[in-house]
Amino acid sequence: MTKILREPLLYFLLLGAAMFGTYQLVSDAGFSGNQPLEEIVITEGHIDALILGFERVWQRPPTAQELDGLLQAHIREEVMYREALAMGLDRDDTIIRQRLQQKLAFLTEDIASLAEPTEGELEAFLATNQERFREQTRFSFEQVYFNVSQRGRSAEADAELQLADLRKSNTTGPGEDSNSSIDTALLGDQLLLSQFSKAYEREILRAMGSQFLGGLQSLPVGSWQGPIESGLGLHLVKLSERNEGIVPPLDDIRDLVSQDWMSAKREEANEAFYTALRERYIVTLAESTVSDLSNVTASSRKD
């Protein structure tokens, strides 16, 4: 008896019996030998797709025996797929639901991708989305850093005193070199990056953070300003050059604009498709649930 219980075949037989028992419970008609046989139609398109898939992998057409194997595998897949649907195995499966949602979205995206943008559409898209295509502004500056963690409450006062000294030394007579006798690297506290030359906004953002970049963008060129705050501390900054980012002409960024236009159209198509489908459904929420959802839209609470 123990030997029989250890046989894997026994468990497969029990599993099969359980599956057919479940089928009888969930199927309206139940499993019966009197049910009409379902037809599986293998078209030339199916066969061509199987051959093409084989050729992509093996770089050659399948033999007659290999093609027969592909067909039998396809039939097996179709039979198992239909039976799984009939048994309701697709219900309440998160992965299947997400996959079907993605496939439906892909269909609308493919439809939206069929139309190529005209010159006028690209120009209009560029005009209304200039910030998306604007080249980043570049900055050249030097700075004096004050470590708030080390200096504590005196950091801001120290920065203000140093700023006054720098501004005095920045006032020169005719023919004199501004700041010629000042080595700013020796002022304040040590910082790895004390100077930037023609640095893009993204480089400054990565090195100094968004708070510093926001302060830098409003500074005038040619004089010491500050202190500007950052996540590192306080900074006195002398901006020597600002090269404003421009929006390139369409001819220079045509491929990029076209790609973004297509992406926007796909999003619009998906949203329009969903909106049309949503009108076909009435969503009813339990009263206890509705009371907890203050942001439920009126369209989701139709009677």
pLDDT digits (tens, 9 = 90+) for 173-224: 433 444 445 677 789 998 888 899 999 999 999 999 999 999 999 999 999 9
Answer whether 266's CB lies under 8 Å from 108's CB.
yes
136 phi, psi to nearest 5 deg: -75, 145
Which residues fall within 8 angstroms of residue 8, CB to CB, at 6 or more apart?
A: none
Helix (H) or strand (E) holding 274, with range, is helix 254-278
Q: Please give the C-alpha separations between residue 198 and each of 8, 201, 239, 248, in angstroms, as whole numbers.
A: 71, 10, 11, 19
The pLDDT score that the predictor gives to residue 112 is: 56
At 252, which amino acid appears? D
Task: Pick 182 or 228 by higher pLDDT.
Answer: 228
Sheet hosting strand 138-146, strand order edge to edge: 195-200, 138-146, 234-243, 224-229
Residue 292 has pLDDT above 60, yes or no: no
pLDDT tier, 253 (very low <50, low <70, confident <90, very high otherwise): very high
Q: Quick one: pLDDT at residue 110?
A: 64
